Chains A and B, each alone.
Chain A
Amino acid sequence: MTDANGIGWLGVALAIVGGALRVSTPYLYVSLGEVLTEKSGRVNLGLEGVLLMGAMSGFAAGSLTGSPWLGVLAAGIAGGLLGLLHAAICNLPRVNDIAVGIALFLFGMGLAFYLGKPFIAPRAAMLPALPFGFWSDEPAVRAALEISPLFLIGIALAILLRWALANTRWGLLLRMAGESADAARALGYSVNAIRTLATIGGGFLGGIGGAFLSLYYPGNWNEALSSGQGLMAIALVIFARWNPLRCLYASLLFGGASALGPALQTVGVTAGYYLYSAAPYVLTLALLIYSSSTRHALAGAPSELSISR
């Protein structure tokens, strides 16, 4: 984390901004992936497994080929395959998608740890960072404003997804499958096919989120790499009310909240370090309690979604 000792509380603010920019990227990708999946009417609770598989395959491909961007691609493909697995099982009748998600979480985690064992030692080529802090002489500012290209791509993706969901034929089909499966069936579309594609796409994005973890920040592969970012995807999406653009804001907020503890530590405030780390979860729970109601579904939730019924 940023060395903020020199500039005191301003440093804390900088460290939170820097942390938000760095930590938010995996949140952004998993939440965008989850929005894509949930808009089609299905929940994938297994994005944590997808994230870890993505991190592992990204790191492995990155260190084998020497190209971090091939690693990102491999991570996306691995995530997409796990998404396909989720969709294939959920396409069967009488299968609970939330339960499959939990199973996918355990399976993906086990698989990533199993296959990733040989890669714990070596280092892979890292993704480059873009120095947006070039105008400042202050090293803290420079460190805080080093931005990953994946973050910028993520912002573009959020905008693109928002636009595509609202304005394209594919977006309309996806939302129809999520709002009324009967309507989609009546028009002759296969709801399962739409949801399968949406889950694969969601897995692809989740995998890229994992690649960010192993190829940029913290930038290595080990079994304690993820601190539950994938599991938070589902909370983030509720927080963002199924809107890709709000996913971006929510990810930044969560990233900032996660950076609170480490940032305060740099100025010597160490009491309650672990309590600060719970900030995103408390935030989400509070919002969930506030916005839920026994009489109507969550605002903005696709009506076919099992968590909103």
Chain B
Amino acid sequence: MRVPSDSAADTSHLTQSPAAPMRRWLSFAAVPAYGAAVESACLSLGAIAVALFLFGIFVALGGHNPIEVYKALYLGGFGTRFSIEGALTQASPIILTALCTAIPARVGLLVIGAEGALVLGGLAAVLCATAVSTAPAAIGTLVALLGAVCVGALWIATVGALKHFRGVNETISSLLLNYIAIALFNHLISGPIRDFSQTLKATSWPVPPAFRIGSILGWSVHWGLVIGVALCIVLFIVLRYTTLGFSMDILGGNRRAAQVAGLPIGRLLILACAIGGGAAGLAGGIEVLAVHGAASESLIVGFGYTGILVAFLARQNPLAVIPVALLVGGISASGGLLQRRFEMPDATTQVLQGLIFLCVLASNAFAGRIASFTRPT
């Protein structure tokens, strides 16, 4: 049964490689921060390429021409103005739900509760808008969005608080909270706040039309996208250039070091969760105010779970979340074209997203390898 261990004898990796001077040509070390960024970008792009290749094989097995499918993916997601608008509309909530995983990840938490925070945010937007239904339009919109942010933030802050005070695993508690949130949501929209004039499916009271968020001038993309992009940029700056961001990175990198440095660990954990939850709640509020006009099942379409994929693909960097969300949004948006042109099931883009996710995680195994190849000796 026993297999001799091979790790003891092999010391060749400790000796100096003769090719070291050559590698200096490839060095990113002069700008170490950019080196790491370039490396993550390379890994993510490589992972996407591998996933696309595997996807090509997958569709070829189904009897489709992979080149044609790639073309349709491009056309349906990015090729025309119409498809770009579709991709941007899809990306808008995903940008925000990705932050719900990306920001807590900075303090070392793996939170997957964006779906729950999103539906509750949508609910809060409806309730707040109804409460101030006579207010001027701008104020009503603001109150509804603020309500969505607060409810989302509180919901996920609970996850951080449970982690800090009771040691409850954040991944599991946020997963359970998703289901509780969705049950609460279904309960409210199918009874207490149901609009009974909508008979097709359970829908909440509509938000006052004046409070609806409109489209960006000349585009059929709503302003929610701009809010999401702005939030990403602000969070990037805060995390990168402030003491708060630095403290979060220390906590995420080494909890013990954060303790020794006297950082307020509990407050940082809960704050990071609250920021993430607020972003996801905002996503729900914007979806209600800009797209649906009321809270209904249409909110529960997995934006929260796609956000997790986007956060990992962006390597938890808020700035990288923007292009990645556009890419993933484009893939989702191209589903319709794939369906029409090749009669493929609508889950096709889901398969591609799953493949990308798996490849990105596998690519983590190569993190640091490129840097160690190019590090000057």
A interface residues with partner B (beta carbon < 8 Å): 45, 49, 85, 89, 92-96, 98-100, 102-114, 117, 185, 187-190, 223, 228, 231, 234-235, 238, 271-275, 277-278, 281-282, 284-285, 288-289, 292-295, 307-308
Contacts and interface: CB of A to CB of B under 8 A. Distances in A.
B186 interface: yes
Contacts of A292: 162, 166-169
Contacts of B352: 110
B362 A92 contact: yes
Contact of A108 (B1, B3, B354): B354
Interface string B80-114: 00000000000000000000000000000010100
Query: Which residue among A99, A113, A289 has the maximum number of chain B CB atoms within 10 Å of its CB?
Result: A99
Given A288-B168, A289-B166, A293-B167, A111 B4 contact: no
A99 B110 contact: yes
Interface stretch (B20-28, B70-78, B177-185, B288-296): B177-185
Interface stretch (B141-149, B211-219, B274-282, B304-312): B304-312
B183 A107 contact: no
A275 B184 contact: yes
Nearest to B165: A294
A85 B175 CA distance: 23
Contacts of B368: 94
10 contacts: A85-B358, A92-B362, A92-B364, A96-B364, A114-B347, A238-B172, A277-B183, A288-B172, A292-B168, A307-B169
Nearest to B189: A274
Contacts of A89: 358, 361-362
A95 B362 contact: yes
Given A94-B364, A190-B3, A234-B172, A103 B309 contact: yes
Contacts of A107: 351, 354-355, 357-358
B133 interface: no
Say whether chain B's binding surface is mostly helix, strand, loop, or mixed.
Answer: helix
B181 to A, nearest CB: 9
Given A114-B344, A273-B187, A288-B168, 6 more contacts: A95-B365, A104-B354, A107-B357, A107-B358, A114-B350, A114-B351
Given A106-B309, A110-B354, A114-B350, A189 B179 contact: no
B191 interface: yes
